Amino acid sequence: MRLYVTPTSPYARKVRIALIEKGLPCDIEQVDLRDPEHAAKEQNPLGKVPVLVANDGTAIYDSTVILQYLELMHPQPALFPVDAKERIHALRLEALADGIMDATIAWVMEHRRSKDCQDPALLHKQAGKVQSGLAYLQEKARTWTPATEAPLPLEQIAAAAAVGYVDLRAPELLVSCADLQRWYLALRSRPSLRETSPQ
C-alpha cells in the first residue's frame, strides 16, 4: 500500500496513526500541494490528501473511507467497536474531530490573510466551532481510560489528530481545555503519535 500525505495534514495523520496501531506496513509519500501536478492528483480528482493506493491499485479517499477500508480488509486488531450503537457513536466522534480540523484550517487560512483583509465574523465563527468541538471532546476524554496497549480506538485516533492539529496551528483555541491537553500530552509518547507528530 502507498499513502499520499503532507507532513502536517491532520486527516493524513489520522490514517497514519491507524496504520501503525494496526501494524500495517505502508509506503508514505509526501506531496507538495502547491505543485499543480502533484502525485496524489492522479489518484484523487479533488487533488486532496490523504489518498491510499491499495495493493491492487485502487485509490481510496477520503480519510474516513480509508479507515473503513483498513478495518474491512484487516479486521484485527479492531479499531471500530462491534456493537452497532457504539460504532455509530465512534463514527460520530470521528465526524466531530474532522469538523474541528475543517474549522481550524478555515480559521488558519483566514488568519494568514493580511489584517485589513480578514473577516472578523468568519474568524469568530470558525473559532467557535473549534472551541465547542474541543469542549465536547474534552467531556468524552474524561471518560477514556488511559490507552496503554494497542490498538487505540477510532474515536481517540480521530481526537488525537484533531487536537494535535489545533495544538500545532492554533494553540490559543486549545487553552481553555486543560484536561484535553493533558490527555493529549499523555498520549503523545505512544509510538503511533510520536512517529506521526507534525512538530
Ligand X SMILES: N[C@@H](CCC(=O)N[C@@H](CS)C(=O)NCC(=O)O)C(=O)O
Binding residues (CB under 6 A) for ligand X: these are 6, 9, 11, 33, 47-50, 62-64, 98
Q: Which residues contact 114 (CB under 8 A, 6 or more apart)?
A: none
Q: How far is the CB of 73 from ligand X (least distance, A)?
A: 18
* CB nearer to ligand X: pick between 7 and 171: 7
**DSSP state letter for 151:** P
Q: How far is the CB of 35 from ligand X (least distance, A)?
A: 11
* CB nearer to ligand X: pick between 64 and 132: 64
Q: How far is the CB of 172 from ligand X (least distance, A)?
A: 20
* CB nearer to ligand X: pick between 43 and 192: 43
The closest residue (CB) to ligand X is: 62
Identify the three-state secondary structure at position 166. Answer: helix
Of 57, 56, 52, give the one whose Cα is nearest residue 71. 52
* CB nearer to ligand X: pick between 45 and 120: 45
Q: Distance between CA atoms of 3 and 56, rounded to whole angstroms?
A: 14
Q: Distance between CA atoms of 173 and 128, rounded to whole angstroms?
A: 9
Q: Which three cell numbers stand for residue 87?
A: 460504532
Q: How many CB atoms lie within 10 A of CB 123?
A: 15
Q: How far is the CB of 138 from ligand X (least distance, A)?
A: 22
H-only helix segments in 113-153: 120-141
Q: How far is the CB of 143 from ligand X (least distance, A)?
A: 25
Q: Which three cell numbers stand for residue 122?
A: 468568519
* CB nearer to ligand X: pick between 12 and 177: 12
